[in-house]
Amino acid sequence: MRIAVLSDIHANREALQAVLEAVERLRPDRLVLLGDLVGYGPDPGFAVEMAQKLAAAGALCVLGNHDEAAVHGPSGMTAHAHEAALWTRTQLSSEQCAFLAALPLTATLAGALFVHASARTPQAWPYVTDERSAGQCLAASEAALIICGHTHQPALFYARPGHEPVRFTPRRNLAAPLSALRRHVVVVGAVGQPRDGDPAACFALLDTERAEVTMVRVPYDRQATARKIAAAGLPEWLGMRLQIGR
């Protein structure tokens, strides 16, 4: 089975449209949305509307912390994230808020566990950023493969039985193997706000038959998104960071 995994869209219409065009060309068997449909970006209504349509067509979708903040109000967020969450709430319909509120924290497909942040207390939104946090994520689940987002930085963690995970940084558009002798945490990067120094949108293509995952990078019109961020009155830095991928 080939599964396209999109995380951290962050209300970036231009990035989402470019990625969905790439997904259509790849023709995966299933689509998974890993949360944070909204937050930071200027088009939250469009992002949720597309997620609703994709879910109606069979896509899996889980909740992200920015989705939760848009529905229930921000708490413990950075100043920019807090401001964007309050603005986002004013842009969503009651139906769209209800859709976000009903999203689950986790989903399973083809033996893999999908979660926005980590399998370890997913409702607390911990980050998987290093070997220690990857080990905690694996310890919280029996799944051999856990797919998550949240950090906006693509990464793979390989774990042999009885050993700490080892981190690997995947190359753009090159498949990385997933060994049957190891457990894995795959962090898929971000569609709408990459932070790994590459400003191109990122999504993952998981191939369970070939036992590999590819971080697919897709260029998009970042300047158009930045202009809309400024026009909406959102913090200027949210547009600037799209240009540098940080």
**Residue 236: predicted pLDDT:** 92
Question: Which is the CATH superfamily of the domain at 2-244?
Answer: Metallo-dependent phosphatases (3.60.21.10)
Residue 162: pLDDT over 90: no
- C-alpha to C-alpha distance for 210 and 208, rounded to whole angstroms: 6
What was the pLDDT predicted at 140? 96
pLDDT at residue 45 greater than cutoff 90? yes
- Per-residue pLDDT at 79: 93
What pLDDT does 180 receive?
A: 87
Write down the pLDDT at residue 143: 95
Give the SS3 label for residue 154: coil
175-177 vs 183-187, strand pairing mode: unpaired
pLDDT at 65 over 90: yes
Give the pLDDT mean for 79-95: 95
- pLDDT number for residue 75: 87
166, containing H or E segment:
strand 166-168
pLDDT tens digits for 119-152?
999 999 999 999 999 999 999 999 999 999 999 9
Query: Where do the H-state alpha helices sit in the chain?
Result: 13-26, 44-56, 65-72, 79-91, 94-101, 131-139, 222-231, 236-244
Model confidence band, residue 76 (pLDDT cutoffs 50, 70, 90):
confident
Residue of 163 and 60 predicted with greater confidence: 60
The SS3 assignment for 2 reads strand
The tokens for 221 are 């019109």
What per-residue confidence (pLDDT) applies to 90?
95
Length of the chain counted residue by residue: 246
pLDDT at position 161: 84
pLDDT at 55 over 90: yes
Q: Any residues with CB less than 8 A from the CB of 95 and at least 6 apart, and which? A: none
CA atoms of 56 and 52, how far apart (whole Å): 6
pLDDT value at position 207?
A: 97
Longest CA pairwise span in the chain (Å) = 53
Quote the CA–CA distance of 238 and 175 in Å, as a whole number.
31
Q: How confident is the model at residue 3 (pLDDT cuts 50, 70, 90)?
A: very high
Give the separation between CA 116 and CA 169, rounded to whole angstroms.
Answer: 19
Q: Where are the domains of the chain?
A: 2-244
